Amino acid sequence: MNWYRGTLLVGISLLVTACASPSIQRQGASYRITVPAKNWTFEFPAPGFKLVEADKSRPYYYLTNDKTGVAVAFDFSRATQCNSSESCRDYLANEMKATYQDKKNWRMAKVGEVFVAENMDGLVVGGFSPKLQHMNAHYVKDGLWLNLHLSKVNYQEMDRELFVSFIRSLKLGQKPN
């Protein structure tokens, strides 16, 4: 009987977690990520973006834009190591600098009210550098941390505006009733 009760509790817990996980939907000219447990949403313009991966168990969403070459990933986690956009940016940047010592051109900045960290992969594959640029933007609200990761191959400095425009286009709002 205890085994059955334990199994039932685990099953109910998994079901509640799955139902409370963020989900992504395309709504007209926008994508909307809804975070039921926190009663809020993230919205951003959809033109050119296609959803490549949606893993509600993590939760994690990955989209690409073939026209601009920008890839964007949304990764949600509890804010246990940090409690603000700035402290989460600093925490992740320090972790990445220690782990990926070949990354170069680190830049810490702020786009609107959002703190960002930028870097370029220093890898050279077969004598070729893919010039893969990364920008991580950090949103923290109600104990939830959204790490927004933008990347682009063959990056040039003028491409930075693609990243900045995307971050500025992201709207945080209350979940509609």
Domains along the sequence of the chain with CATH: 2-174 (3.40.1000.10)
Residues 78-126 pLDDT 10s = 999 999 999 999 999 999 999 988 888 999 999 999 999 999 987 676 7
Stated length of the chain: 177
Query: What is residue 174's predicted lDDT score, i.e. its pLDDT?
Result: 76
pLDDT < 70 positions in the chain: 1-20, 123, 125, 175-177
